[in-house]
Structure formats: structure tokens, C-alpha cells
Amino acid sequence: MPLHPVVQAIWDRVQSTGFKGYASIELAAARAHFSQASKVFGPGPEMYGVREISIPVDGGAIGARLYLPSESPAGLCVYFHGGGWTLGTLDDFDTLVRTLAARIGAAFLSVDYRLAPEHPFPVPVNDAIAAVRFAAAHLDTLGGSGPLAVVGDSAGANLATVAALELRGEIDIALQVLFNPAVDTDNTRPGFAAYGSDYLLKAADIEWFFSHYAPKVDPAEPRLAPLRTADLTGAPDAWIGVAEFDILTEEATAYAAALKAAGTPVKLNRYDGVMHGFARQHGIVDVADRAVSDAAEALRTALAR
């Protein structure tokens, strides 16, 4: 099917500005563009409480933002934002996190992991693992109870699933929710040719992100490309949402199949008419809104077990 009419209208406006992808501009300009574009999503729902948290990590501490939708949240979700490991702030994903927290009734801890190129691989991975460990160790003070869940978008979904794999057998993770996850390093997939030039996330952007994040890392390194993990046995249950017009959909679909083959219950959902990063458009695109509701329902069910 064609792009959703609202998505097409947004994309037309973006292209009319002359924007040709993040790889075409300097890093500082890319970060500013990403944050400016995030303002179109508007404010999210009001929360019972929002507070800033400090998480100890190797080399110091990172920030995080705790969202409490009520006095007694129904569990805790640890969230990792997208942006190719180089872009993005807590504010850029504030609306989406608030919406998920409100729809689930669960607390959300949105993690301000360190970004490349200032902090290349494996720093963001180690930050993600430390954040999930911190959340599990402080459930009572963060508003959670019982198991927790991890949630991520794009590069953040990469960090969420890598942390979930790393912590197998150590922490009870009820569900991993992955929106258009980056899970491999193979740029020869057909989707790179089909969707790598004319849509939001371009093949050149992928190369640009990796050049900042992991320029000298073996592409088969499983903490970079979790699809390359030799044994996925014991991975937490997964909900994966992919877009019709997205360069990453093939690898995300392959990851869902690999998890399922390893015995992990997986729900793979494809949303037609949308592009990469669609979840943040939930307030303006009905398909994206349905995706966020689907993810929220999966999380609510998993956290209630």
C-alpha cells in the first residue's frame, strides 16, 4: 500500500526543506534537527509525578527520568530512546513515554545513555545494562513491583534487547518491546535497496550512524548485532513492531524468527503505510496510535502476570 496520507504529507514537508538525511549534515546540526522535529508531537499526558534520577555507571553516572502515571503503578518499564546511538534526548521521546505510561498504568524509567561519537560502543550498551540492573535493584523506590520490562525504539531497541540478552538468568524481564529495532549489520539485504533512498531512514544514514558508534567493531559482534548471537535461548518474551517502509524491517523480522526458533514467545506486528520511527507519530497518525496501543496492551498483560 502507499504511505499513509498523513505520513506522506509530513514527509513532503520534510523534503521541501531540502533535508536529505542525517549523513548529509554535521553532527551538531543533525542533533538539532532531530530535536526540532520532535516538537511536532506535542505534549504527552499529565503524570502523577515525574522526577530526574541518577544512575551509577562505569566512569560516573547517567541521568534518567522517572514517569509515574499514578500513586501505585502497575510495574516498571525501562525505556531506551532512538537516534542511531548518536542523536536523541529524553525530551525528544517524552511524549511517547508519557503516552505508554498512561496507557499501561506502569512507571517508566527513560534512560539518558551516553551517545557516540563522544562515547562509542560499548559505552551505550554498558549504560543500558547498568540501567536495567539499577531498575531491578530499586523497584520499590521507582514505583514498580514484580518483574520489569524493557522498551526501545530503533537504536534504543537494540540496547534494550542486548541488555535483555546480557541479563538472562540474572533479572526477571517480563517482556521486551522493540519498535523497529536495529539488530544486524548486514547492508546487503534487499530492503536497503528498496527503502534506503526515498524514505526517512536512509542507507547512508545507517552507515553514518555506525561510523560514529562502532567504526572499528567487528560487524558480527553480538552486542552490536544481536541477530548474530550464537544462542538466543532464554531471551525474554518479545513484542516487535515494524513498519512497511523501513530499511530495518527485514532484520527485525529475521530477529523475531530467530527468537522464536530459540523458544522465545514472540509477537511480530507489521504496520502498513508508515516509516521508521512511526511510534512517535501516535498523536497524528492512526496506524501509529494503534501500534502504541498494541504495545501497551502487551506490556500491561506481561506485567500483570
Q: What is the pLDDT of residue 38?
A: 84
Q: What is the pLDDT of residue 67?
A: 98
Model confidence pLDDT, tens digit, residues 71-94: 999 899 999 999 999 999 999 999
Q: What is the pLDDT of residue 223?
A: 98
Name the residue among 247, 296, 231, 239 with its Cα closest to residue 269: 239
Residue 15 has pLDDT above 90, yes or no: no
Residue 300 has pLDDT above 90, yes or no: yes
Start-end of H helices in 185-232: 190-195, 203-213
Residue 146 has pLDDT above 90, yes or no: no
The residue behind cell 503516552 is 99
Q: What is the pLDDT of residue 16?
A: 84
Which residues have a catalytic role annotated?
154, 246, 276
Exposure on the CB side of residue 227, measured as CA atoms within 13 A: 18
The percentage of the chain sitting over the pLDDT mark of 70, rounded to a whole number, equals 100
Q: What is the pLDDT of residue 144?
A: 74
Q: What is the pLDDT of residue 102?
A: 97
Residue 1 has pLDDT above 80, yes or no: no
Model confidence pLDDT, tens digit, residues 86-139: 999 999 999 999 999 999 999 999 999 999 999 999 999 999 999 999 999 999
Residues making up the chain, counted from first to last: 305
Q: What is the pLDDT of residue 143?
A: 83
How many CB atoms lie under 10 A from the CB of residue 24?
14
Residue 196 has pLDDT above 90, yes or no: no
pLDDT band, very low/low/confident/very high, at 214 (cuts 50, 70, 90): very high
28-42, 104-118, 119-133, 262-276: least confident range: 28-42
Q: What is the pLDDT of residue 305?
A: 81
Residue 55 has pLDDT above 80, yes or no: yes
Calpha distance 108→100 (Å, rounded) = 8
Exposed/middle/buried for 122, CB within 10 Å: 0-12, 13-18, 19+?
middle
Q: Is the separation of the CB atoms in 22 and 30 below 8 Å?
A: yes
Q: What is the pLDDT of residue 283?
A: 92
Kindly provide the residue ranges of all beta strands, DSSP E only, lying in the chain, ordered along the sequence.
49-57, 60-68, 76-80, 107-112, 148-153, 173-179, 238-245, 266-275
Calpha distance 290→293 (Å, rounded) = 5
Q: What is the pLDDT of residue 19?
A: 83
Calpha distance 279→266 (Å, rounded) = 19
Model confidence pLDDT, tens digit, residues 177-195: 999 999 999 999 998 989 8
pLDDT band, very low/low/confident/very high, at 18 (cuts 50, 70, 90): confident
Higher pLDDT, 196 or 171: 171
Q: Which CATH class is domain 5-304?
A: alpha beta
Exposed/middle/buried for 159, CB within 10 Å: 0-12, 13-18, 19+?
buried
Residue 145 has pLDDT above 90, yes or no: no
Name the residue among 179, 245, 195, 205 with its Cα closest to residue 7: 245
Q: What is the pLDDT of residue 182?
A: 98
pLDDT band, very low/low/confident/very high, at 21 (cuts 50, 70, 90): confident
Which residues lie below 8 Å from residue 262, measured CB to CB, with a gap of 6+?
A: 231, 232, 233, 234, 235
